[in-house]
Structure 1
Amino acid sequence: MSDEEKIVIGKGTWIDKLASEMIEREKQLGRDTKLLKVESGLGASGIPHIGSLGDAVRAYGVKLALENLGYKSDLIAYSDDLDGLRKIPEGLPDSLSEHIAKPVSLIPDPFGCHDSYGMHMSSILLDGLDKIGIKYNFIRARDTYKNGLLKEQIHTILINSEKIGNKIAELVGQEKYQKFLPYYPVCAKCNRLYTAQSYEYDQSRRVVKYRCVEAEIGSKMLKGCGHEGEADISKDLGKLAWKVEFAARWHAFDIRFEAYGKDIMDSVKVNDWVADEVLNHPHPHHVKYEMFLDKGGKKISKSAGNVVTSQKWFRYGTPKSMLLLLYKRITGARELGFEDIPALMDEYNEIEDIYFGKIKVDNEAKLLKTKGLYEYTNLLNPPKVSSVHLNYRLLIELCRIFKEDRKNMVAKKLVDYGTIKNSDPHVEHLIELAGNYADDFEEDEPTKIEISSEAKKALAQLVGVLESDKELEDLQNVIYNISKENNVQPKDFFMILYQIIINANRGPKIGPFIVDIGRKKVAQTISRHI
């Protein structure tokens, strides 16, 4: 049977495949499938970047796919705001250093607008999800522990702590939980988390005994305050170590799916075992995704300064462009920067044209997959009609020319070129985004284009004409004649010029467009390609 004849699951994307594998597994486990909960963990210790947002967006995609296959599903967005602050993220005040190792929900918000540092960071992420249209059920670690929602799981884990400590050493080579319990109380005296090491559990009273000692935090040694005390696991603030906490959460909230980044593979390996063998709750279905990297190939990190946030993204691109980035695929590390936005904006237009049949795709499998991707990018609620399409790089070029009264001037040019009939709020919004991009970024590096030797000769001749101070009556005609003289088909020559100037195969009438951008500027751009 050929690939084309295979049964298509849902909308034919990787998201549908994942949802269907998950349902299959649930049936094999014989579990109730009335409500299938998916979870995404939100880090609250640093500035949330696109990777953190991507985790929740993809989990929501799985929720949509499950609903599309006829199941009820819920996304839980869990903020780990009891996590201790390990280091000060770049750009934040040094005054935070006195709060190192304290749970982020106990640290005051340095910006003064939320109840804590942790809630400030979570709210940035939730704002991004709201702008994209993701629906979620928000749960905070602080409330989860405070309200004793994990107390039974904590109890079971602490009773089995010796077995767990040995298994952690066996699975991932980490030996510290053979010496200490996998539970950190918040020290009653100094409010720190990781310095308070618990060494004994009294089962009957459900209290851990701990002492606040020196601990390694974010590759630095931090002195404890020396306090010795007891903490009640159902009343006093404290949290499970990461190596066991996911398992407790999965059990308590009945989670059936959670994706994870490869940087926490070890934690997931241990948590899966704890869920299966200690808590007797089969671990959720997983998918592993790669990290987003910055353009230098480094992992985008909340505490380094190389953060691509959704708030900054929406200054230049639409929420749809971000959803497209996140739903296109899940595997493979990807270098990511704001300079990817123009291509994503234009790619969205292309998949919309395929969806509405304006671009023909002969390969049936590719057509189905592209239509499915378009539907997920619209959160399975696609519009009835296509939007007005404008080449984003064309807009950037026009915004570089017109800085004063930009919206009117650029819209007027688009009407002159015959690109639009008239302006509307959608067009104005796109001009605003492209204008921000034009103001904030230098021109992009030229993309590599295959150019024949004849076309190169024609381009060199055109550069000479554009650089000369000679008045030109009709540049369109001059370009046409140059292509003929050099044995290049005029339509091919125009296409090369569009590719060089706006990275597209077509655009407005080339002669007037070059005059608008500026003859000398275009001559420089062409020269970089020959």
Structure 2
Amino acid sequence: MSELRDLALESNAWPFKEARDLLKRLETVTNDKGHVLFETGYGPSGLPHIGTFGEVARTTMVRRAFEILAPDVPTRLIAFSDDMDGLRKVPGNIPNPELLEPHLGKPLTEVPDPFGTHDSFGRHNNARLRAFLDRFGFDYEFRSATDCYRAGEFDEVLKLFLVHYDKVVNVILPTLGPERRATYSPFLPVCPETGRVLMAPVIERDVDAGTIVYQREDGKKIETPVTGGRVKMQWKADWAMRWVALGVDYEMSGKDLIDSVRLSGQICRILGGQPPQGFTYELFLDQNGEKISKTRGNGLSIEDWLTYASPESLALFMFQQPRRAKRLYFDVIPKAVDEYLAFCAKYAEEDAAKRLQNPAWHIHGNEEVPAHDMPVSYGMLLNLASVCNTEDKSVLWGFITRYAPDATPESNPTLDRLVGYALAYYRDFVKPEKAYRDPTDQERAAMADLAGRLRNMRPGLTGEEIQNEVYEVGKDHGFENLRDWFRALYEVLFGQSQGPRFGSFVALYGIKESVDLIEGALARNAA
């Protein structure tokens, strides 16, 4: 373990850099909890989405790296749901939206569940989050804001807010418009009559009694304790309150929350706490380059990704370049799958230092990386399905076993799952978009030449050897940019603009079958 720690101290992988910074922070911050606490936050006003998973996955990667650097320090990870937040608007991607309309403003745990599976909308979305985190095998503790507030876990820090009320307010006021500034309070009372979370002005405070007096819109003045779940903190103050009450040491957040992190950090210090070590990640974008949103539902859902690929491939997508904005749409899935498999294959041959750089280590943890042996890639399976125009596993397996005789569904269940993922992706995304085009005269001549050369090839050539011949055909027929030659093959033969290494595809599909494919396409277009 000491040797591994020494290597981790030098690793350039971003989770180890974060873990080293956290270790330095703990040298200057008093930690009497006996453990290091990582936190991820979740706002359950919309259905859980991949961004939520990404934050837990990335935090887990940092936690895992920290445990290598400080093996004697216990760690915990809390997934915290801000489910006491008031429902501001009805999400557009849920059933029975009319059930929620009368409950706007109430805590999410007091809003009916439109899906009919739980006692509230908040509990339903919490369950959706937990189900996926459990499915992936995360080691975490789930905490509900509603439960924490009502059980009194935040009471002592809520009383501190009363003591430092003016200082906290003065942090937030400069960030607000004139109208909101006039009524702002970090305390959001929960109305005992309507059950709604109110943005009501606080007109009196009693530090000794631990109460506030607020004024409702109808002019009525109500005194209430700030403890026991009778108020909910405005969210920047709420974030700071959690950091102090729970003793959070590490929490990452999106680029859109940079200002909120700064303000919450100031409030945290006013309360006598120390803000956690942070990490700012870039936001995910949809197919149009716009920020994905739980409420709008314009990104991939967790279920979407798992229909077409494994959780591990999603974890790889989260690991790579977290500080760069990335499109998170269906077309990124095939690349993520094949890259994940490639990293796993490479891991088995690497020394200890390189393994700590390998994303597979950060996905699986030390010494738990599976040795995936994949004779064909996800991309190759997609194109095989496209050429065969099939959604039948047995058809693809017929080609696979001819290409790799030792591979069977029973001996390689991971490959069998990959076949299933690829067929689902082909059915939903490739097949509907297939659009064959006619070859140009130059392309027609080159393809006819390629068919002739393939027919005369000796048996048993490797995909690389076939690929070299395909290159030569392109050069001989005057393609200055060989990408144009391969694009022509994909568009004429597959009906799509991208495809696999053509030589590898021919080795899998078969020489005779590939010749028939080319000649059939030329005959079709000639007619």
The TM-score with structure 1 as length reference comes to 0.81
* CA gap 1:61/1:123 in 2 versus in 1, 3 angstroms: same
Return the match for 2:169 from 155, 161, 165. Answer: 165
Q: How does 1:101-500 map to 2 (within 5 A)?
A: 101-170=105-174, 172-173=175-176, 176=180, 179-213=183-217, 228-276=221-269, 278-357=270-349, 367=354, 370-371=357-358, 373-383=359-369, 385-400=371-386, 406-418=392-404, 421-424=407-410, 425-442=413-430, 459-463=443-447, 475=455, 477=457, 500=490
Q: Secondary structure at the match of 1:306?
A: coil
- Asked whether 1:58 is paired with 2:42, we answer no
Identical aligned residues as a percent: 27
Q: Distance in 2 between matches of 1:7 and 1:418?
A: 38
* Residue deviations 1:152-183 (CA, integer Å, cap 9, x gap): 1111112222222122234x355646643211
Corresponding residue for residue 88 of structure 1: 90
Q: Secondary structure at the match of 2:222?
A: strand
Corresponding residue for residue 74 of structure 1: 76
> How far is the alpha carbon of 1:464 from its aligned partner?
5.1
Return 416-425 or 293-302, whichever deviates more: 416-425
Aligned residues: 486
> How far is the alpha carbon of 1:116 from its aligned partner?
1.1
* Residue deviations 1:384-421 (CA, integer Å, cap 9, x gap): 63343531111122334557671222111111223753
Partners of 2:112 and 2:119 within 8 A in 1? yes
Partners of 2:202 and 2:214 within 8 A in 1? yes
- Asked whether 1:99 is paired with 2:103, we answer yes
Q: Secondary structure at the match of 2:362?
A: helix
Q: Distance in 1 between matches of 2:483 and 2:321?
A: 34
- Alignment RMSD (CA, Å): 3.6
Task: Give structure 1 stretches of 5+ with no counterpart.
Answer: 1-5, 214-224, 447-455
Corresponding residue for residue 509 of structure 1: 506
Q: Secondary structure at the match of 1:184?
A: strand
* Residue deviations 1:419-455 (CA, integer Å, cap 9, x gap): 7532232222111111111111136999xxxxxxxxx
Corresponding residue for residue 494 of structure 2: none
Partners of 2:236 and 2:260 within 8 A in 1? yes
Partners of 1:475 and 1:512 within 8 A in 2? no
Task: Name the aligned partner's letter for residue 361 of structure 2.
Answer: E
* CA gap 1:516/1:420 in 2 versus in 1, 3 angstroms: farther
* Residue deviations 1:174-204 (CA, integer Å, cap 9, x gap): 5646643211111112221134443322223
Partners of 1:461 and 1:482 within 8 A in 2? no
Q: Distance in 1 between matches of 2:345 and 2:504?
A: 16
Return 347-356 or 23-32, whichever deviates more: 23-32
Partners of 1:458 and 1:482 within 8 A in 2? no
Partners of 1:417 and 1:508 within 8 A in 2? no
Q: Distance in 2 between matches of 1:340 and 1:485?
A: 31
Q: Distance in 1 between matches of 2:91 and 2:520?
A: 42
The TM-score with structure 2 as length reference comes to 0.82
* Residue deviations 1:349-407 (CA, integer Å, cap 9, x gap): 221222122xx89xx98x45642x21012144523633435311111223345576712
Q: Distance in 1 between matches of 2:254 and 2:231?
A: 25
- Asked whether 1:38 is paired with 2:42, we answer no
Task: Name the aligned partner's letter for residue 519 of structure 1.
Answer: L
Q: Distance in 1 between matches of 2:519 and 2:261?
A: 54
